[in-house]
Chains A and B, each alone.
Chain A
């Protein structure tokens, strides 16, 4: 049975000429798992909001949406609220009340369910989602992953027929994200729930999907099964930016110009390699290390804790960073990576040991000296960088710090805006631009300080594959200009592509620090998808590009026709 039928829908926001959605036709069957993706600004979120009546934005709409054969607009309020569930991107903003149990009951209270029934439903859902250990906790005390699970549970408690999710894992760390997606899988396969998911992290989601929809500039350009999806995408454009978003096995598959059904999971990818490619050449040569330049940042036996009776976050960290390096520091949630960055940037002071920036002790920098043409930090939440009504005004503030003249500032702003391709955003309100763009714009403001050392805290959090590529290019360009860059991240794939050296932060110290090839090939668990997919045949292959190149060198296996 069809649960949603979208017939020729076009939607235009007020006071705008170009429609955000144009002649959308889509049919979603009961029990289907549909993944919608596309660049930021392609209208994904608007499309999703059109399906949830309470959230449908104002504007001009033509065409019709049917829910189970009836017009969506004709649905009665209670059904509309309870049968179509909606989960948003930010775990924080959609929690309403201060207690977990209260939050779980919130939707049921709204539609007027008697309290005795709420009691049993809440109990049931808390058990299903494993919420019972923190059932009576305050919602502010939960971790990001727990918050998002609570949001999902408080929607599921109303027993919806269809669940709409708008990038629900974008703000979560990889472990919490995997956990969340596993829950979605359970809901879909065990309970037959229809799921429409807008997502740009396709690695884990694609194998679960029945159908993938690609939106571009407000139009649906592909609706396909995941295994066929890449083929059509490639037919459309050999260099389509969304190819970057595909899971590693698919990237390898299409990178090698193979036809047919593409592998989706690592396991399928592994089989694909074993069946089709020879392994005469077993390892890629390791690039020789460049001569090491002078040390710009040095941590000597650094110890840090927040308060006297709290445990140590840094316990005897030693670290040398050379000029012009890109260093990635990986590590689990709450391991203290961000604290390490704050110690290097002078936001937190060590209680034992030394931090030397350009051979000078960090305490000796007075006032804002450290931040003038020296260290700049891009925080995890780019919104905290902006305080003004437009980006341009925000950029102007930097003039106060570095005493730029108006002319100088305008020239610099133009230069950086052109380089980052954000000129068209300069007169917008920082909150009106998408997450990925916010990240780049925040970086722009920081670059105005003309730093020599750049510290980035989770720069790829919540941004799509395309923005990630942009960021990669920008950072590589900055490195060429001689900047030293330290990145703290969860994103192993990003770290593998960009870093000169990679370190793992664990239990208050940096455990191993090596070139990405050595680091990821020697790790068995904490490594990239490409490494896991190819390590049974080849060594030193840590990105999909590595696999493609070694496969090309080896060549395909040739099977005799008579083999079967």
Chain B
């Protein structure tokens, strides 16, 4: 159920960059609200209901905590609602608190789905484009970490049966740790020499290395990329063109019901729910295909 993930890694990466830039740097209420909405819908589509509710409950508390903190400490704004310990609590500060909380929670949920969608091989591919050697290094490291863990476990078990440092005292445990660490470094070096040999044997180090990957550009990737860039561009264009910039202090800017604002709202909505739309389309498509079978 991750059809958005099947797009080319660059398309996905560009999408996330666009969404995160908008969410983090434009404190516009449309963007924040729709971004949170979009990230939650995508998260709900990609995870079991149980996980979704568990996370929602946790982040709702987090959200309230941040939203409440702001008006307690910040006293800017013109509309004073009441006084708390002789300090004014303003409407603007409350609303700004909610905006910041929305922004944080939205970014968190976007990163959650990002982690699921951009897997290690996609990550390697993306950064391998920029620094080819780096992708190989990351790949080697990703392989080596589990190997190292396994060796630690094995050595520990063996040393236990040798009766060495099995007492529970702290000094014993520290000593045993140091001993183990020393030998593991030797083991790792020994291992890497053999690995270097294996790499050389397969011609590593020759000029003109190519970079093979399992990701190919299809027409739909190009269409999707163009579409994302177009919407992102239009949103930015409308935002810059808007002479009446949105501010929270000292008074919240009013957003009139104008064609320009409606356009902006619709564009942001489309961008934010784009991955969810793709997921939903896929679900419906499969239901339909199954009923035909």
Contact = CB atoms under 8 A, between A and B. Distances in A.
B139 to A, nearest CB: 4
Contact of B206 (A110, A122, A154, A383): A110
Contact of B209 (A90, A92, A109): A109
A102 B139 contact: yes
B78 to A, nearest CB: 58
Size range of the chain A interface in the assembly:
35 or more
A71 B213 CA distance: 36
B202 A106 contact: yes
Contacts of A113: 210
Residue from the set B121, B163, B197, B204 with the largest chain A CB neighbour count within 10 Å: B163
Nearest to B192: A93
B203 interface: yes
A368 B195 CA distance: 37
A98 B119 CA distance: 13
Contacts of B207: 112
Contact of A387 (B179, B199, B205, B214): B179
A401 B163 contact: yes
Given A98-B142, A140-B143, A347-B157, A371 B211 contact: no
Contacts of A386: 183
Contacts of A139: 143
Interface stretch (A78-86, A462-470, A491-499, A505-513): A78-86
Given A115-B211, A118-B212, A401-B164, A110 B203 contact: yes
B146 A140 contact: yes
Contact of B162 (A81, A154, A385): A385
Contacts of A81: 201-203, 206
Contacts of B200: 54-55
Interface string A98-120: 11011001111111111100110
Interface residues of B, number: 50
A98 B187 contact: no
A243 interface: no
A114 B209 CA distance: 9
B121 A400 contact: no
B174 interface: no
Interface in A124-148: 136, 138-140
Contacts of A554: none
A367 interface: yes
A158 interface: yes
Contacts, number: 161
Interface in A419-451: 431, 445-446, 449
Nearest to A445: B162
Contacts of B162: 371, 376, 385, 397-398, 401, 445-446, 449
Contacts of A107: 202-203
B164 A86 contact: no
A90 B194 contact: yes
A539 to B, nearest CB: 41
Contacts of B140: 96-98
Given A107-B202, A379-B158, A93 B183 contact: no
A155 interface: yes
A562 interface: no
A77 interface: yes
Contacts of A154: 202
A110 B179 CA distance: 39
B48 interface: no
B50 interface: no
Contacts of A384: 151, 154-155, 157-159
A94 interface: yes
Contacts of A102: 121, 139, 212
A52 interface: yes
B180 interface: yes
A139 B203 CA distance: 20
B201 A115 contact: no
28 contacts: A54-B203, A88-B197, A90-B194, A94-B195, A96-B140, A96-B202, A97-B143, A98-B142, A99-B121, A110-B202, A110-B204, A111-B206, A112-B206, A112-B208, A113-B210, A115-B210, A115-B212, A118-B212, A136-B214, A140-B147, A154-B202, A158-B203, A371-B162, A379-B157, A379-B158, A383-B187, A397-B162, A449-B162
Given A136-B214, A385-B162, A401-B164, 5 more contacts: A93-B198, A102-B212, A347-B161, A371-B161, A376-B162
